[in-house]
Amino acid sequence: MAELANPLAQRLSSRFDGKFIEIVEQRDEVTLVLSHDRLIEVAQVLRDDPQFRFEQLIDLCGIDYLGYGDAEWDTSDVSSEGFSRGVEGFGPGRFDWEHRPQVEGAHPRRFASVVHLLSVHNNARLRLRVYAPDDGLPVIPSLVELYPVANWFEREAFDLFGIVYEGHPDLRRILTDYGFVGHPFRKDFPLIGNVEVRYDAEQGRVVYQPVSIEPRVGVPRVVRNDSRLDQARAEAAAARK
């Protein structure tokens, strides 16, 4: 592992040696990447150990890395026509099931849960990232016993991503309807949805039918670094010398 610059990252590395996958330092933020079977053990130490004292869970969410980093916009041979003509349109949510994208690149698993912790006492923040071991049925331990506030956050991640939080006392949908099919934040969920609802005057009731809207690309989906931030960081480093 490369030498860690952040003091919090150094303490984490020393305290949890061998119990984490990776410590990431980026933009003055620290991310501790854990395996699912270490989450409860590590989270309890982070909450109770005086050198950490992360007494508050301020956010928890799910992530789907399907197709992560795959750009939809062709910028190499369409500049004379404008970028809007370079849209491939085959990204997640804009494809048929037979040609669905696959997880490739830097992320070993498709689904992850991300937790943001706050230590008021130490004025510190920490991000935990935990990958689900099974892409077909993503299961991650629940943090409700350690941080009761995680209850509704985990229900939201279950509803939108289909991540099952093992040990949650009441895991059910919280945003979509009771009869909703699928998980709308998954990358393979169609952007136009599966069904549409309309009122049928002849039948005198609301009816469900397959969507009639053609999918289209509205905004580019690309992952890139902002060179302005790199320049500002370089100037700040030079000023400190």
Q: What pLDDT is attached to residue 192?
A: 76
Mean pLDDT of the chain: 82
Q: What pLDDT is attached to residue 211?
A: 80
For residue 169, pLDDT over 80 is answered with: yes
112 or 181: which leads in pLDDT = 112
For residue 210, pLDDT over 90 is answered with: no
List phi, psi (to 5°) of 129: -125, 125
The model carries a pTM of 0.76
Q: How far is CA 111 from CA 12, 60, 86, 114, 194, in A?
A: 24, 14, 29, 10, 22
**Spatial distance between the Cα atoms of 76 and 207, rounded to a whole number of angstroms:** 46
Q: What is the pLDDT of residues 85-96, one digit of tens each?
A: 445 555 555 566
Highest mean pLDDT pick, 67-71, 104-108, 151-155, 197-201: 151-155
For domain 7-240, which CATH number applies: 3.30.70.890, 3.30.460.80, 3.40.50.300, 3.40.190.10? 3.30.460.80
Which range is least confidently modeled, 16-30, 134-148, 169-183, 226-240?
226-240
- Sorting pLDDT into bands at 50, 70 and 90, what band is 101? low
For residue 166, pLDDT over 90 is answered with: yes
User: pLDDT above 70 covers what percent of the chain?
Assistant: 76
Q: What pLDDT is attached to residue 85?
A: 47
For residue 39, pLDDT over 70 is answered with: yes
For 36-58, what is the mean pLDDT?
95
Q: What pLDDT is attached to residue 68?
A: 77
CB 90 within 8 A of CB 67: no
For residue 159, pLDDT over 60 is answered with: yes
CB 160 within 8 A of CB 180: no
